[in-house]
Amino acid sequence: MSKGLAEKITEVFKPQVPLWACELTSKHIIVTGVNRQRVDVTAKIASELPAGAVASSYSETNIRDSELVRSRVRQLLSQAGFSGSEIALVVPDDTARIAFLTAENPSKNVEQQKTFIRWKLKKTVPFDVDSAQIAYRIRRPQNREAGVDILVALSPRTIIEEYENLFDSIDLHAGMVVPSTLAALNLFNAPAGDSLFLKVAPDCVTTTVFQDGRIRFYRRVTDVSLYDAAYPTVMYYQDKLGGSGIQHLFVCGYSTDLRPALAEVQAKLGLSPEPIEPVILDDIFKPALGSVHLRGGI
């Protein structure tokens, strides 16, 4: 896990990850930068967006007010001291479908790997898989008999192009595109035992289960409380994954008003929430910094 979940995902990502990142949510624009060694944060700034300027969906237009968003992005990049022509782009989780597959002996041929992934997901993804933007990483667990894990992110190509075109219009190349939860997980090293990771965004909550450092389950829900998002995942962990007890609860959120919701989770599930590293950094910046592979603290 120390190399980051998304580090070797192919096709969407370039081998050389940019040093600057911008995350767009339905409520924020967030800009961060790191030094060349990726151990220090050189810039971090966030600004709220008016309601309706950006939506988060894989089935509808996302950039609803492109002129306003373009102007705000320019302004924030200038305030942050951005320089260069390439940037990592963090998109809302609602724009992508994240899936986990297991294969006993996957082909080493990239095209055959993609064919296998598309075939496996064709009936479960609510958009055309054949034309979708697909990114994946193959990860071999320590237990060789468990098969090979394949982490997959899919988005309709038209949705990804909306975000890319926005940055093209200000002469910036989106050298890397990654969903917010996967970006945040690049900062996360799962400890021994079983863990639940809660990512709270303006429009959705994602829940991710790790068993002995191995990512096993991901779920995205909207319009529910934090407890109602976590509880079904815990039940799935127990009933389908054979889990005997989650030992750690990690949380990454965008606001400071999560304390009542986290108190309910702690009271009902018996799990004390822990922040992901670096703990001295506000959570709102962590997905963007994960996308540029921050290795240290500020």
The arrangement of strands across the sheet holding 205-211 comes to 214-221, 205-211, 194-200, 248-253, 273-275
Position 177 scores a pLDDT of 94
* 190-275 and 1-94+156-189+277-298 share a CATH fold: yes
pTM: 0.90
Position 144 scores a pLDDT of 60
For tokens 């309910």, the residue is: 264
Position 264 scores a pLDDT of 97
Residue 215 to residue 227: CA distance in whole angstroms: 21
**Which secondary structure element, helix H or strand E, spans residue 110, and what is its range?**
helix 110-121
Position 12 scores a pLDDT of 40
What architecture is domain 1-94+156-189+277-298?
Answer: 2-Layer Sandwich (3.30)
Q: pLDDT (tens digit, 0 to 9) for every residue of the chain, 298 residues total?
A: 333 444 434 334 334 799 999 999 999 999 999 999 999 999 999 999 999 999 999 999 999 999 999 999 999 999 999 999 999 999 999 999 999 888 888 888 999 999 999 999 999 999 999 999 998 888 776 666 667 889 999 999 999 999 999 999 999 999 899 999 999 999 999 999 999 999 999 999 999 999 988 889 999 999 999 999 999 999 999 999 999 999 999 999 987 789 999 999 999 999 999 999 999 999 999 999 999 999 865 6
Position 6 scores a pLDDT of 42
For tokens 């995902």, the residue is: 9
Contact 285, 44 (CB under 8 A): yes
Q: What SS3 class is residue 179?
A: strand
Q: Across the chain, which distance is largest between two alpha carbons, in Å?
A: 53
Residue 262 to residue 251: CA distance in whole angstroms: 9
Position 296 scores a pLDDT of 67
- Structural domain boundaries in the chain: 1-94+156-189+277-298, 95-155, 190-275
Beta bridge partners of 187: none
pLDDT digits (tens, 9 = 90+) for 215-245: 899 999 999 999 999 999 999 999 999 999 9
pLDDT digits (tens, 9 = 90+) for 169-200: 999 999 899 999 999 999 999 999 999 999 99
**Which secondary structure element, helix H or strand E, spans residue 206, and what is its range?**
strand 205-211
For tokens 């039940």, the residue is: 235
Q: May I ask the CATH class of domain 95-155?
A: alpha beta
Whether domain 190-275 has CATH 3.30.420.40: yes
